[in-house]
Amino acid sequence: MISDEKLILFSNQLIRLLSKKTFLDIKKIRFQTKKDFQIDPVTRIDVEMEKLIRKFIKSKFYNHSIVGEELKNEIKSSDFTWVIDPIDGTKNLILNLPTWSNLIGLYYKNNPIFSFANFPILKKTYLGLKNKTLLLEKKKIFILRSNKKVIPKNMKLAINTLHSLRNNKVKKYILNYKGFFKVTGSDAYNFCSIAEGRLDALIESGLKQVDILPLVKIIQSSGAIITNWKGTKNFSKGEIIVAANKKIHSYLINKINN
């Protein structure tokens, strides 16, 4: 197994590499869409960033499999698989909003063992390790924990986009919710904010596997919970609940399903 120390060293080296990728004029970014029926943008930067990340991973772990959003999967006989979303929040990148990120997850026999969420504009990097979640910011390291004390009536609840409201039960619950609520548009930063204890719950749908899998260890090692809307770990439908603690998770599962 790969030690936390080796993964932290790997992360610091990768952060420095990614920081050299500068974007001189975000306004001039051009994009194509992956879908005919709605805008799902991909830019040249998405592809270039994935090539860069893959090359770096191969330089350290040449025999590992790699699955990414923009390029062809590289499947090898190894029990280790890296999952890459080179630019999570491409629309935010195009609009010059600061919460786009580079997401990387490492799995061993389908179990998450490492998460990396790097926010270049915010200059914040979140790491999910074996038993702890770290925030690297301003040359300091912070250990993060989700909010274990918050209860449902006091929770800060978010959805990322209006996609979740396509489900009638979720829509009814959200529209009648009287507490702290926000539609954030912050993408992966929502997940990290729960790990950091700033946000308490997220209900989301319409996600891809590469939007979810790289973040799982950040959530789990902070003490928070991530499941699908049925309460299991099958994320194939792209529906997720992230909750700061068991009470909030059980409450939201019940609200969505009953």
Whichever domain contains 248, its CATH number is 3.40.190.80
**Rounded Cα gap, residues 252 and 235, in angstroms:** 17
Q: Are residues 59 and 97 in the same domain?
A: yes
Residue 28 neighbours by CB under 8 Å, 6+ apart:
none
Q: Are residues 79 and 159 in the same domain?
A: no
Q: What's residue 24's pLDDT?
A: 40
Q: Are residues 90 and 17 in the same domain?
A: yes
Q: What's residue 111's pLDDT?
A: 97
Q: Are residues 163 and 51 in the same domain?
A: no
Q: Which of 95, 114, 143 is the last residue of a domain?
A: 143
Range of the structural domain that residue 233 is part of:
152-257
Q: Are residues 220 and 161 in the same domain?
A: yes
Q: Are residues 43 and 81 in the same domain?
A: yes
Q: Are residues 20 and 138 in the same domain?
A: yes
Residue written as token pair 């990290």: 192
Whichever domain contains 49, its CATH number is 3.30.540.10
Q: What's residue 46's pLDDT?
A: 81
Following DSSP, what letter does each residue of the chain receive, concatenated?
Answer: ---HHHHHHHHHHHHHHHHT---S-GGG--EEES-SSS--EEEHHHHHHHHHHHHHHHHH-TTSEEEESSS--B--S-SEEEEEEEEE-HHHHHTT-TT-EEEEEEEETTEEEEEEEEETTTTEEEEE-SS-EEEEETTEEEEE---SS--GGG-EEEESSGGGGGSHHHHHHHHT--SEEEE---THHHHHHHHTTS--EEEE-S--HHHHGGGHHHHHHTT-EEE-TTSSS--TT--EEEESSHHHHHHHHHHHH-
Following DSSP, what letter does each residue of 161-183 receive, concatenated?
Answer: SGGGGGSHHHHHHHHT--SEEEE
Q: What's residue 39's pLDDT?
A: 45
Residue written as token pair 């990097």: 125
Q: What's residue 113's pLDDT?
A: 98
Q: Which of 101, 116, 143 is the last residue of a domain?
A: 143
Q: Are residues 133 and 160 in the same domain?
A: no
**142-152 pLDDT, tens digit each:** 999 999 999 99
Q: Are residues 136 and 156 in the same domain?
A: no
Q: Are residues 18 and 107 in the same domain?
A: yes
Q: Are residues 54 and 160 in the same domain?
A: no
Beta strands 65-68 and 80-88: pairing type?
Answer: parallel
Q: Evaluate whether 185 touches 93 at the Cβ level (below 8 Å).
A: no
Dihedral-angle region of residue 45 (phi above 0 means left; psi in -120 to 50 means alpha; beta otherwise)? alpha
| One-letter amino acid of 136 | L
Q: Are residues 232 and 176 in the same domain?
A: yes
**Rounded Cα gap, residues 72 and 29, in angstroms:** 23
- Walk along the chain (258 residues) and give the pLDDT tens digit of each residue: 899 999 999 999 999 999 876 554 444 565 555 545 444 455 678 888 899 999 999 999 999 999 998 889 999 999 999 999 999 998 888 888 999 999 999 999 999 999 999 999 999 999 999 999 999 999 999 999 999 999 999 999 999 999 999 999 999 999 999 999 999 999 999 999 999 999 999 999 999 999 999 999 999 999 999 999 999 999 999 999 999 999 999 999 999 998
Residue written as token pair 């936390």: 4
Q: Which of 143, 174, 196 is the last residue of a domain?
A: 143
Domains identified in the chain, total number:
2
Q: What's residue 30's pLDDT?
A: 58
